[in-house]
Amino acid sequence: MPAPAPSPLAVTRAPHVARQEEVLTDEALAFLAALHHRFTPRRDELLARRAERRAEIARTGRLDFLPGTAGIREDPHWRVAPAPPALEDRRVEITGPADDRRMTVNALNSGARVWLADFEDASSPTWHNVINGQLNLIDAHRRRIDFTTPEGRTYALRPDAELATVVARPRGWHLDERHLTAGGRAVPGALVDFGLYFFHNARHLLDAGKGPYFYLPKTESHHEARLWNDVFLFAQEYAGIPRGSIRATVLIETITAAYEMEEILHELREHASGLNAGRWDYLFSLIKNFRDAGEDFVLPDRNAVTMTAPFMRAYTELLVRTCHKRGAHAIGGMAAFIPSRKDPEVNAVALEKVRADKEREAGDGFDGSWVAHPDLVPVARAAFDAALGERPHQKHRLREDVRVGAGDLIAVGGLDARPTAAGLRNAVQVALRYIEAWLRGIGAVAIFNLMEDAATAEISRSQLWQWVRAGVVLDTGEKVTDALVRKVAAEELADAGTGADGAWQEAHDLLLEVALSEEYVDFLTLPAYERLG
C-alpha cells in the first residue's frame, strides 16, 4: 500500500502578520508537512534518549568517549566535504536575531564574513518574530531590505558591497511551534525554521553562487546529527537541488556532544562545514547534566569561568584538533561586549579583553570567531588577520600536540574561584531582566554592557538551582537557600520594575519557578513559551 499523505498543516491561534502569505504559501506548508510527517517521530525518540542519558549521568557521575564508535575516531582517512567558496574564509562571524530588521542590515554591512541569522537563543519565538525573521532573510537575499527609525534614520545595504554570508540557526529540537500543527501535533520549531528558510531561499542562493547554510544548536549526540543529515538529504531531493548543497556548522554547546565531535562530523560529513565552541550553552549543559553530582561540579560565578579554565581549554583545543583532523572549520566563541556610548574607559578595558581573547583563539588554531556587535568586527579581524596571513583558515594546523582524556572535559573541581554574593545577585539580575524582555518578544538583550541571550539566562537560573541544593556558602558567609534567592529576587524586582512597563512580576515568578522548583526544568524557554503572547 502507498504511504498515507502527510496531514495538512494548519495555522492555529496565530495573529496575522503583515506579508505572512509570502512565507506561508501552500507549497511551503506542504513541504513543512512532509518534514513533520517524516521526521517528528524520530525527533521524539531522540528527546526520550536525552532523558535516558541524563539519568545515566546522574547515576554514574561520569561521561566517556563512546566505545562503540571508536572505529570512526581511529579511522585516519575520512574527511568532511570541502568548504564551498562562500564558507572558505570565516575569520569573523557576527550574530544577531533574524527578526530584527535593523540588526539584519547592520550585520550584513558589518564587514564580518558570516552573519549567524538567529531563530534560536537570540530570538523570542513570537509568531511575529518567526514570520518576520523569514521575511527579513528573503528580502536580504534579494537586496531589497532597509529600515527607517521613528526619527527618520534609514539603514540600507551598502550598494555593490560584499555582504556577510548568511548562516541561519533554527530552534533546537526541544522547542515546538504551537502556531503550526498537523494532525493535532505542533511542528518542531527546528523544522519550521529550517524548512521555511530552505524552501524560499535554497535555489536563489545556489543561483547566486552560495547555498543554504545552517548552524545546528544544542545537539546532544551523533544520533541527532544523523537526523539532521537525513533532513538535509530529504530536503535536497524534494527541491531537486544537488546533494551536498546544504552545509551545516554544529555548535558543540552541550557536554555530551563534546564526547562525540568526530562522530557528529562523520554523520554530517557531506554537509558539514565546521564545529563551533558555544561557551555559554556549554556551561549551562554541564551544570544541567551534573547538577546533582556533588561539590566537585559546583561552578563559581558565571563570569569567573573563563576560556582559560583547564576544562574549557580541554574542550576548545579538542574541538580545534578534531575539526582540522577532518578538514572542517573550527569556529571560536562569542565576544558579547556591547560598547558604551557614555564611558570610553569601560570600552577601552573591555576591547582590550576582547582583543586578548581573539588573539588566544587565533593562536590556538581556530579559523574564526564570533562577535555580538559591529564595533567588535575590526578587533576580531585584526587578531585573525595576524594569524592567518594570506590563508583563508588554519586547517593546516593539526594540533597533534593536544591530548584530552575523558576526565579532562569535566574536571571542574580545580577552579580557584568560588561562588560569591555578587555572583548570586548578578545571576538574578541577568535572568530577571532577560526573561522580562523575552516575554515581550525580545531575544537579544544588552544587560550591563553584555549582549545576553537565552543561554546566559539558562546558566544564571541553573546556578541558582544548583547552589541552593548544594548548600553553597558564599564569600560573605551566607548559605544559599530558597529564602535568600527569593529575597534577592524581590529586591531586584522592586529595583528593575519601578516605573517600568513590561512583564516584571511575571518574569520574577517564572525565574523563581525555574530556579527553585523541586524538579529541574530542562529549558526555561519551555514554560516561558506557554506565557509568550
Residue 150 DSSP label: T
Show Cβ contacts of residue 173 under 8 Å, excluding neighbours closer than 6 positions: 43, 46, 47, 188, 190, 218, 224, 227
Type of residue numbered 210: K
Rounded to 5 degrees, what are φ and ψ at 93? -125, 135
Q: Do 213 and 273 touch, CB atoms closer than 8 A?
A: yes
Compute the distance between CA of residue 276 and CA of residue 289 in angstroms, rounded to an integer: 20
Q: Do 105 and 155 touch, CB atoms closer than 8 A?
A: yes
Question: Quick count: other Cβ atoms within 10 Å of Cβ 243?
Answer: 11
Question: Quick count: other Cβ atoms within 10 Å of Cβ 292?
Answer: 14
Cell of 135: 521575511
Rounded to 5 degrees, what are φ and ψ at 255? -65, -35
453 catalytic, yes or no?
A: yes
Pairing status of strand 185-188 against strand 445-447: unpaired
Compute the distance between CA of residue 177 and CA of residue 125 in angstroms, rounded to an integer: 8
Compute the distance between CA of residue 263 and CA of residue 219 in angstroms, rounded to an integer: 12
Active-site annotation holder among 326, 367, 453, 461: 453
Q: Do 32 and 375 touch, CB atoms closer than 8 A?
A: no
Question: C-alpha distances in angstroms, 448 versus 5, 86, 176, 257, 442?
Answer: 52, 35, 31, 31, 16
The angle subtended at Cα 372 by Cα 376 and Cα 160, nearest 5°, is 70
Compute the distance between CA of residue 500 and CA of residue 506 in angstroms, rounded to an integer: 13
Closest among 275, 115, 119 to 190, alpha carbons compared: 119
Closest among 38, 12, 9 to 26, alpha carbons compared: 9
193 catalytic, yes or no?
A: no
Compute the distance between CA of residue 190 and CA of residue 35 in angstroms, rounded to an integer: 10
Dump the DSSP string for 46-64: HHHHHHHHHHHHHHH----
CA 255 to centroid of chain Cα atoms: 14
Active-site annotation holder among 91, 169, 291, 461: 169
Cell of 153: 534614520
Query: For 182, what's the count of Cα atoms within 13 Å in the CB-facing half-sphere?
Result: 23
Q: Please identify every residue annotated as catalytic.
A: 169, 453
